[in-house]
Structure 1
Amino acid sequence: MLTVANASTFGSNVIINPDGELDDGQFEICLIEPFPSSAAPGLLYRLYTNGFDASDYTRRLCCRRARISVPGQTQVLVQVDGEPHHVATPVEVEINPSSLQVLVPVNPPKHLSSYAAGVLGLSAATWGVTTGLEGRAECS
């Protein structure tokens, strides 16, 4: 599985990108490499306890731009904010720092401002590719 993430979590609070910062001008490519079924419980535990980097089957690359290809495939199935799409390969991803503009009340209630930040971080920042195939990602 390959995930392009700017935020630290996605889905049901899976911590796929422990050091993810929404405003640092870069995103991370988070890879989970093929693993034996006996490693699944430990990997799953790490994804929910901020231990992504502690697994032998995971790694992350910091990028501003990336070109992701899957040899022999002209299309891959991706999920954009949870919605499946078929897209042509290679997939090119680039971050546009400080480009999201959000209108908020001048004095939002404290509980709403932290909730909105979490929702915006998840919906605006996470894009995943699941192929089950060998692939290549080039970062700059």
Structure 2
Amino acid sequence: MVWYLWAILGVFAIVFEIASPSFFALFIGLGFFGSSFLAYFTENSLILQILVALLGMFVGAVVFKRQRVANAPASKIGQSDEFIGTKGKVLNEILPDAQGRVKLQAPVLGSSEWNAQSATDATIAIGTNIEIVSIHGHFLIVKPISN
């Protein structure tokens, strides 16, 4: 295939990439440009040009995947798990089979007072210091902690 056909395919792939929200067409375009480069400087077979295009696509995808995994955030900011470990005090007694009410030192998901359930089978008295174990929708699972 002549070199400019590979380049035209590469341009179409890059334009498609700009119009789409993913990154897959970018690597197709880079593979096509690699084949265009090879076809321009050498008179190789179509099979070799196709192999270079496929190799360029594969290498681009692997490098992008590796870079994307390395840049993934390790924090839980913005998730409910971010608040596990937040401390507070019991306002209404928490019974093993009933929810009570707690006031937290810092607001969690916009509120500093929450309904809470005990993580243990013990009653948690008013004024006891607690810590969030998990968040279940509209209530917290808490455990008592020592002062």
Q: Which has the higher helix share?
A: 2
Larger Rg over CA atoms: 2
Per chain length, whose mean CA-contact separation is higher, i.e. which structure has more relative contact order (CA < 8 Å, sep 6+)?
Answer: 1
Q: TM-score, normalised by structure 2?
A: 0.22
- The structure with the greater share of residues assigned to strand is 1
